[in-house]
Amino acid sequence: MYYHFPVQGAIQKISDATAQVLMSQISNQWEDEPTPYGKLFLGVYDWAFSKQGTTLKIEAPNLIGGGSVPNNENAAATLGGEPIYGDCFLKPKDANAIISLDELIADKGITIQDKQ
């Protein structure tokens, strides 16, 4: 089971197979970040950047080819204050993580849809 944090709409509990299909439709490459609840999978994008002397500065959410990736406010509000861009997926590490995450989401007044 995965939690899907779409940019718009309710957080969804989805099957592993559904998560894999959605992830392949969104990005060809994902990075996983450890969280207290499990692994958070974030799409890898070609971020725009600027050069300041010898330093490169990433210009997220802007993309090299134009356009931008929207900020994911539900994911950021649930998992921490740092900006999260685009849809992301969380694979809970165990049953206790699911219970804790469900309680955290409910406390924040965010809706969860169970689509397993």
Would you give per-residue pLDDT tens digits along the chain (116 residues)? 999 999 998 999 999 999 999 999 998 899 999 999 999 999 988 889 899 899 999 888 899 888 999 999 989 989 886 889 999 999 999 999 999 999 999 888 888 888 87
50 contact partners, CB below 8 Å, separation of at least 6: 56, 57, 59
68 contact partners, CB below 8 Å, separation of at least 6: 61, 62
pLDDT of residue 98: 92
Give, as one character, the DSSP assignment of residue 37. Answer: T
pLDDT of residue 113: 86
Six-digit token string for 45: 């994008």
Beta strand pairing call for 47-52 and 55-63: antiparallel
pLDDT of residue 93: 95
- Evaluated on CA atoms 50, 42, 105, 99, the torsion sign reads negative
pLDDT of residue 60: 85
Counted residue by residue, the chain has a size of 116
pLDDT of residue 114: 84
